[in-house]
Amino acid sequence: MVWSISLDRTWSRCQKQYFFQYKMASSTASDEQRNRAQFLKELMSPELWQGKLVHKVIETIILPAVKSRFWPNPEMVVSEAVALAERQFAFSLNKTYESVPKKEAKGDYCVLTPHFFGTSDDREIFDEVIDVVSNALRNLLISEQMRSFLMGRPQYRIEKTHYFKVGNTQVQAIPDLIMLNKLRGGFDIIDWKVATTSGHYDFQVGVYALSIKATDWLFEKAPGEIHGYVINLLESEPAIALADPYKVNDEVLSSIIDIAYEKIERIEALVKGRKWQELNIDDFMFARSIGTCALCNWKSMCVEMSNGSPAKFLPDSQPRPTQLTLPFD
């Protein structure tokens, strides 16, 4: 098993979703049901789509410009984001995915849940997403504090995959952005959020910090304290996050490892050493919330595979989140 933050969130939300997304889904298997699970894995809700659009534009347009010491014009960036969204929306609405493979479609590939499930083809979906995406990108690009914070760094690592081990388990971490902080002699981790509500991301930042420290050639460049910044781009001034970073030291990292062990063991108790064919979907618990089931891409497959009987909701079967706390400053 390769464990990750996103995998653990799926497990905590619904063990059956974990089964479909991380065990059954496959684009290369000869089994049609596994191919179907993979296709459903790639469906996006409008909310997920807007986040993906913002991340893609930051990754492919804004940060490459910043690395070249050029701060992009907000309206030009928004215009490019709208053009990308238009192509993806049309691809989904016209069901182009039925005739054009994902590899050929490249960045235009998109299948939105309201289009696929036939719940809506309303242009209002597009307009609402573009409103959020445009606000997020403008908030980032008109912020003088964000400009000062991001520009002129000696090194940027954008959406790079890192691996390290917790016990015998491989852990995958993909920070949105890692920057070397020359003044402090450490690294800054940036995680972009497009959210209307705030959350606690100390564990996520800690996992990213572990991935940096475990990458010897990288950490040796700046072995000082690692700071993490969770930047909500829907804040009118996203730089507000810069005033209160997550400060990751050895004590924090020790706690992160303990919690990761606990999370990994909880999953491996059910799946360790077993291929997907050896797994029984009925051993995986349903979501705690009926709302999770209502929005699940695999809900029809789930009912079909659950011994042919209607889905049952088991509210008391979901493992509780860890009670350990992290000593962040």
pLDDT value, residue 307: 61
Full set of structural domains in the chain with CATH = 2-149 (no CATH), 152-248 (3.40.1350)
Residues 290-294, mean pLDDT to the nearest whole number = 87
- Answer whether residue 72 shows pLDDT above 80: yes
- Answer whether residue 314 shows pLDDT above 60: no
Of 5-9, 46-50, 293-297, minimum mean pLDDT range: 293-297
Residues 267-286, mean pLDDT to the nearest whole number = 91
- Answer whether residue 316 shows pLDDT above 90: no
pLDDT tens string 199-233? 789 999 999 999 999 999 999 999 999 999 999 99
pLDDT value, residue 315: 32
pLDDT value, residue 308: 57
Average pLDDT of the chain to the nearest whole number: 91
Of 45-54, 114-123, 130-139, minimum mean pLDDT range: 114-123
pLDDT value, residue 323: 38
- CA angle at residue 110 from 3 to 191, to 5 degrees? 45
Strands (E), the chain: 2-3, 156-158, 162-166, 169-173, 177-181, 186-193, 226-232, 246-248
Give residue 325's pLDDT band: very low, low, confident or very high (50, 70, 90): very low
Give residue 172's pLDDT band: very low, low, confident or very high (50, 70, 90): very high
- Answer whether residue 52 shows pLDDT above 90: yes
Residues 64-70, mean pLDDT to the nearest whole number = 97
What is the residue-wise DSSP string for 76-131? Answer: HHHHHHHHHHHHHHHHHHTTGGGTS-HHHHGGG---BHHHHTTS---HHHHHHHHH
Q: Which amino acid is at 62?
A: I
pLDDT value, residue 319: 34
Residues 112-130, mean pLDDT to the nearest whole number = 93
- Answer whether residue 310 shows pLDDT above 80: no
The proportion of the chain whose per-residue pLDDT surpasses 70, expressed as a percent, equals 93
The proportion of the chain whose per-residue pLDDT surpasses 90, expressed as a percent, equals 82
**Beta-ladder partners of 171:** 3, 164
pLDDT tens string 73-118? 999 999 999 999 999 999 999 999 999 999 999 999 999 999 999 9
- Whole-angstrom CA distances from 34 to 38, 96, 102 are 6, 21, 17
